[in-house]
Amino acid sequence: MKIAIVTLGTRGDVQPFVALGNALKARGHDVVIGAPENFRTWIECHGLRYRSIGVDMQSFVQSIDARKVMAGNVLAMVRMWRREIVPLTRNSLDAIWETARNADVIVYHPKTAGATDVAEVTGAGLVHAAPLPIFPTKSFPLLVLRGNYGPWLNRLSYRFLTVPQLLLRSTVNRWRKEVLGLGKGPLFAASSTRRPVQLCAVSPSVVPDYPADDTENICTTGYWFLDESSDWRPDPTLAAFLEQGDPPVYIGFGSMTSVNPARLGEIIVEGVHQARVRAIVASGWGAVELIDAPGIIHTIDEAPHGPLFKHVSAVVHHGGAGTTAAGLRAGLPTLVCPLSIDQPFWGRRVYSLGCGPKPQPLKRLHAEKFAQALIELTQTESFRTRSSNLAKAIAKEDGLARAVEVVETFNR
């Protein structure tokens, strides 16, 4: 089969789809991945055909307005929507059409627009896939909400996800008319006559009871791990740091950015010193400004989580879906310092599973509280025991095999 995979977002939104692309290619399928421009080289290094979907996500996230949006600035959010998101969406629609127009099956991330419209023209099969539990269920409300409101309200809360669709409706409808030769699309994608299969690339051991019943047409497959960089080794300076003492704590905030990365760096240094732990701190895309403290803190730009996590005792991160999965897979106690969107959800999940302390929101982080959380993270034996047990359960799952099985049903 010809399979087009389209995804939009940061590394946690792209990496699982690269893993799926590899698995489908290994089964003999013709696979192309449409993704942000900054992932081109990485995707092509995996031997997968790449198509740009018209945005450099790293530049986008590191912009001044994006940093303000992450900090909760509503005015910056409105400005960014008008000046950047609407034009970028129009460009990505054209790119998704070029990527998927010849596909037998289109696998698409929730952040992408246009996949269902392309399938309306071409008749392609549709697989709506997400690295987080974002499909409507009565089990729990939309993950940006706390608590449980009962089956009916829980399911209703997912209607909030239609707000971006409504705001982009005129843009999408103009594209449908000008490029696809179609009339106006359905008000809600779910009302389309071409209903997609829904895949949730999350471990059922981490998010149990999702969905609540079979009528919700959701398949929770298990994580889609990309095992790469098996030959990665610490460089000489990192290797020397690791040999100087006990295994350090990993601290990194991935693709997140902050308004004041220098201050966040100072808080981390102060907290690490007060907690009397050693740490590897990763800069990622610019959330934290790196500060070396010989023997105590070693700074890096980035490193593949799989092999790096074999050298650390615990992890501290923003709660991105991919980083959370990597830490739990490694059986490591986890402290989540969430910023926005799904990150608080993963922080609550880690805490409720008994794999780490209460989440510490990144915007309200200060040295004393951070130090206390680090002490709790590294000295609570039950966190290590429960994390180890959860890792064993995750190891028994094969999310990629299940996902490939579902995608291949379109070939029967």
Please give the angle made by the CA atoms of 339, 322 and 91, to the nearest 5 degrees. Answer: 80
What pLDDT, in 10s, does the model give residues 290-345? 676 778 999 998 888 999 999 999 999 999 999 999 999 999 999 999 988 899 99
Beta bridge partners of 295: none
Give the CA radius of gyration of the chain: 21
| Gap between the Cα atoms of 171 and 348, Å rounded | 36
Q: How confident is the model at residue 188 (pLDDT cuts 50, 70, 90)?
A: low
Average pLDDT estimate for 17-24: 97
| Gap between the Cα atoms of 164 and 81, Å rounded | 10
pLDDT at 76: 62
Q: Whole-number mean pLDDT of the chain?
A: 88
Please choose, from the candidates 225, 209, 249, 250, the residue with its C-alpha nearest in 3D space to the C-alpha of residue 322.
225
pLDDT at 9: 85
| Gap between the Cα atoms of 36 and 52, Å rounded | 6
Whose tokens are 């489908």? That residue is 24
Q: Hey, what's the torsion of the CAs at 188, 193, 197, 201, to 10 degrees? A: -20
According to the CATH classification, is domain 2-223+397-411 in 3.40.50.2000?
A: yes
Considering only residues 220 and 55, tell me which one the structure prediction assigns the higher pLDDT: 220
Domains in the chain: boundaries? 2-223+397-411, 236-395
Pick the CATH number of 236-395 from 3.40.190.10, 3.40.30.10, 3.40.640.10, 3.40.50.2000: 3.40.50.2000
93: left (phi over 0), alpha (psi -120 to 50) or beta: alpha
Q: Where are the beta strands (DSSP E) in 76-124?
A: 105-108
> Contact at 8 Å (CB) between 9 and 56?
no
Which of 50-54, 160-164, 202-206 shows the lowest mean pLDDT across its residues? 160-164
Which of 27-41, 146-160, 256-270, 380-394 shows the lowest mean pLDDT across its residues? 256-270
Q: How confident is the model at residue 118 (pLDDT cuts 50, 70, 90)?
A: very high
> Contact at 8 Å (CB) between 13 and 38?
no
Average pLDDT estimate for 341-351: 94
| Gap between the Cα atoms of 269 and 291, Å rounded | 8
Please give the angle made by the CA atoms of 406, 326 and 390, to the nearest 5 degrees. Answer: 85
| Residues in contact with 411: Cβ distance below 8 Å, sequence separation at least 6, in sequence order | 1, 104
357: left (phi over 0), alpha (psi -120 to 50) or beta: beta
| Gap between the Cα atoms of 137 and 145, Å rounded | 14
pLDDT at 190: 45
pLDDT at 302: 82
Whether 372 shows a pLDDT value over 90: the answer reads yes
By three-state DSSP, how is residue 177 classified? Answer: helix
Question: Where is mean pLDDT largest: 40-54, 221-235, 280-294?
Answer: 40-54
Q: What percent of the chain has pLDDT above 90?
A: 63
What pLDDT, in 10s, does the model give residues 71-96? 566 666 666 666 677 778 888 899 99
Q: Provide the b/e sequence for 285-321 (b: ≥16 CB within 10 Å).
A: bbbbbbeeeeebbbbbeebebbbbbebbbbbbbbbbb
Q: How confident is the model at residue 191 (pLDDT cuts 50, 70, 90)?
A: very low
- This prediction has a pTM of 0.89
Side chain identity, residue 70: M
Whether 67 shows a pLDDT value over 90: the answer reads no
What pLDDT, in 10s, does the model give residues 373-386? 999 999 999 999 99
| Gap between the Cα atoms of 333 and 49, Å rounded | 37
> Contact at 8 Å (CB) between 304 and 279?
no
Q: How confident is the model at residue 131 (pLDDT cuts 50, 70, 90)?
A: very high
- Written as six digits, the tokens of 326 are 């990597």
- Compute the Cα dihedral for 177, 179, 181, 183 and give only its sign: negative
Whether 108 shows a pLDDT value over 50: the answer reads yes
Please choose, from the candidates 216, 214, 18, 178, the residue with its C-alpha nearest in 3D space to the C-alpha of residue 107.
18
Beta bridge partners of 125: 105
Q: Where are the alpha helices (DSSP H) in 123-180?
A: 151-156, 162-167, 169-175
Asked whether this chain's domains 2-223+397-411 and 236-395 adopt the same fold, the reply is yes
Q: Where are the alpha helices (DSSP H) in 246-380?
A: 261-275, 305-308, 321-329, 343-352, 367-379
| Gap between the Cα atoms of 338 and 405, Å rounded | 34
Query: Does the bond joining 359 to the residue before it have cis omega, within 30 degrees of 0?
Result: no
